[in-house]
Structure 1
Amino acid sequence: MKLYFHLCVDGFTNSYTILNDRPDVKEAIIVDPGKIDMETINLIEEGDYKLSAVLITHKHTHHIQGLRTLKKIYTPVVYAADAGIYGMDCSILNGDGIVKIAGFNVEFFSVPGHSPDSMVYKIEDVVFTGDTLISGVTGSTLSQYSHKLLCKKIKDKIFSLPNRTVIFPGHGSPSTIESEKQFNIDLI
């Protein structure tokens, strides 16, 4: 697996491109296409990859505004917990499970709290948390109840992963499960 990071200045969101470089696969996945630029397109085109899927952690605009651009160029399957993304057809994910995408087993976990449709994705030893878990803090919530629910779901579903698992959030720098267990101010 090859993983490429892209900072989307609009909203200062993180977008990720995952490549399966095996010659018999040559497929790509994009997580949270905040904004698509030529760097991302060139990565796919110059490597002769097929964009198989787009994974949406939640449908806040600054995490998905590049989706329209991608759909004009490619025909990826869009995976999300909510069908209402720009009126596009999505493969709806409910609860927790595993789907096979681009030669990877992609685990998904429903972790509501920041938003009702918050979804976390795990590929190999990497987890994409969107705004559910950001280095050192949890995502914002609208109520104390939502905050408590979010913290419980993080501890139950994300902190049960191996300590060496790398966290790639929707904003800010990467982290690890071990670091978040020790230093996340919302979860200590």
Structure 2
Amino acid sequence: MKIYFHLNIESFSNCYSVVNEKTSEAVIIDPGKITKEMINQLEDNNYRPVAVLVTHNHEDQLRGLKTFLKIYDADVYAAESNIFGIQTKVIHGEGKLNLAGLEIEYFPVPGHSPDSIVYKIGTVLFSGDVIGAGTIGETNSNYSKMILKRGIEQKILSQQEDTTIMPGHGPITTVAAERSFNIDI
């Protein structure tokens, strides 16, 4: 498995391409902006995107989704059935997907948004805006913040400490770093 990072400089959101090198298939996570570099990377390496994983339905994470789907034929997986007029394959609760020859676990961690999903591929979590380096997602009430913190403690901080967290904004972190230094939890 190879992971490529793409920054949407307009909203400072992160997009990831996760590639199975054996099958040359890719899964795209949160296409906030489709850049020439991203397309070149996929095309130059003959990677075929088969799916888009949505961590939550916020524009800064998904602004490039329509453009991406004009270029590539890929299924979109999300907690909502319709994103920007695009029909998705709805996922709820906890489960597993097998996409691009990769086993992908998913589980909800609401609070930042009601549809927030975290994806786990190997020992890497793609957290969207649930948690980032030294921070947690913004919430609109104390109740939402409590639910978010509980979800982070139960589903993210319970992972092995060397688990990598690739957030929707900011730098990459680990479970160990967040247990030790995240003052928001």
CA distance in 2, matches of 1:102, 1:164: 24
Identity of paired residues, percent?
46
Q: Which residue, 87, 94, 100 being the options, matches 1:96?
A: 94
Counterpart residue identity of residue 12, structure 2 = F
> After the TM superposition, which residues 122-161 of structure 1 pair with which residues of structure 2 at under 5 Å, given as runs?
122-161=120-159
1:119-138 CA-partner distances (Å, limit 9, x unpaired) = 10000011000000011011
1:99-128 CA-partner distances (Å, limit 9, x unpaired) = 101111100010100001101000001100
* Aligned residue-pair number: 185
Counterpart residue identity of residue 10, structure 2 = D
> After the TM superposition, which residues 1-188 of structure 1 pair with which residues of structure 2 at under 5 Å, given as runs?
1-22=1-22, 25-187=23-185
| Secondary structure, counterpart of 1:150 in structure 2 | helix
CA distance in 2, matches of 1:171, 1:34: 11
- The alpha carbon displacement at 1:84 in A equals 2.4
- The alpha carbon displacement at 1:10 in A equals 1.5
- The alpha carbon displacement at 1:50 in A equals 1.2
Moved more, 36-45 or 143-152: 36-45
- Runs of 4 or more above 3 Å deviation: none
| Secondary structure, counterpart of 1:5 in structure 2 | strand
| Secondary structure, counterpart of 1:127 in structure 2 | strand
TM-score by length of 2: 0.98
Counterpart residue identity of residue 16, structure 2 = Y
Counterpart residue identity of residue 38, structure 2 = T
Over the aligned positions, Cα root-mean-square deviation in angstroms equals 0.7
CA distance in 2, matches of 1:83, 1:64: 14
Counterpart residue identity of residue 72, structure 1 = K
- The alpha carbon displacement at 1:69 in A equals 0.8
Counterpart residue identity of residue 175, structure 1 = T
1:142-163 CA-partner distances (Å, limit 9, x unpaired) = 0000000000011111112111
CA distance in 2, matches of 1:20, 1:84: 27
CA distance in 2, matches of 1:176, 1:148: 22
| Secondary structure, counterpart of 1:106 in structure 2 | strand
CA distance in 1, matches of 2:92, 2:142: 24
CA distance in 1, matches of 2:141, 2:86: 30
CA distance in 1, matches of 2:7, 2:48: 22
